[in-house]
Amino acid sequence: MTLTEYLAEDRVVTEVQDDDVRGILKQLLAPVSGASNETVLAALLAREKVLSTGIGHGIAIPHAISSSIPEPQVLLGISPEGADYRSMDGEPVHVFFVLLSPPDRASHHTRLLARIARLGRDPAFVEGLRGCGDPAGAIEYIASYERTHA
């Protein structure tokens, strides 16, 4: 299982600019527009109320399981300047991986979440993604990184 199996260029936002958790999540969800976006946004915000998904070291992994999500999806956001996402370490977040799954794929969701967290622990991975200026470059960077570090 690789992240690039779940990513597409139209699901990558390379200029995340908001400094409000709700605004950031709305910007990250924009590529998957649809009637369920408000439901998904509410699920993501509910998760953030429990504990920030800004895990530190410049990365956040907002995630939700909702019946309004038809299949597992990964969205990517990059904030070159950094955004205030109430990260656990108090530092700005530069890379956002949004993970969305339906309830019947909860175990798959957990495996994807663990994979993202594992990659996100490497400062070189986060810094490399931070420098990607376009969606194609970001996806290629992730694919290359997964090939050499899997």
> Tell me: the pLDDT tens digits for 9-62?
999 999 998 778 999 999 999 888 665 688 999 999 999 999 999 999 999 999
Residues in the chain: 150
pLDDT confidence of residue 17? 85
Three-state DSSP class for 19? Answer: coil
pLDDT confidence of residue 95? 96
Cα Rg of the chain, angstroms: 14
The yes-or-no answer on residue 63 being catalytic is yes
Domains of the chain: total = 1
pLDDT confidence of residue 45? 95
The answer to whether residues 100 and 69 touch, using CB atoms and an 8 Å cutoff, is: yes
pLDDT confidence of residue 37? 82
Beta strands in 30-113 (DSSP E): 54-56, 59-60, 63-65, 73-83, 93-101
Given the residues 63, 94, 109, 149, select the one marked as catalytic. 63
Structure-token match 């420098």, residue found: 131
Phi-psi map region of 41: left, alpha, beta (phi>0 left; psi -120 to 50 alpha): alpha
Residue-wise pLDDT for 64-112, tens only, equals: 998 888 889 999 999 999 999 989 998 999 999 999 999 999 888 999 9
pLDDT confidence of residue 83? 92
The answer to whether residues 27 and 16 touch, using CB atoms and an 8 Å cutoff, is: yes
What is the domain range of residue 14? 3-149
pLDDT confidence of residue 34? 66
Average pLDDT of the segment spanning 129-142: 94
Cα 132 from chain centroid (whole Å): 15
Return the CATH number at 48. 3.40.930.10
pLDDT confidence of residue 69? 87
pLDDT confidence of residue 121? 87
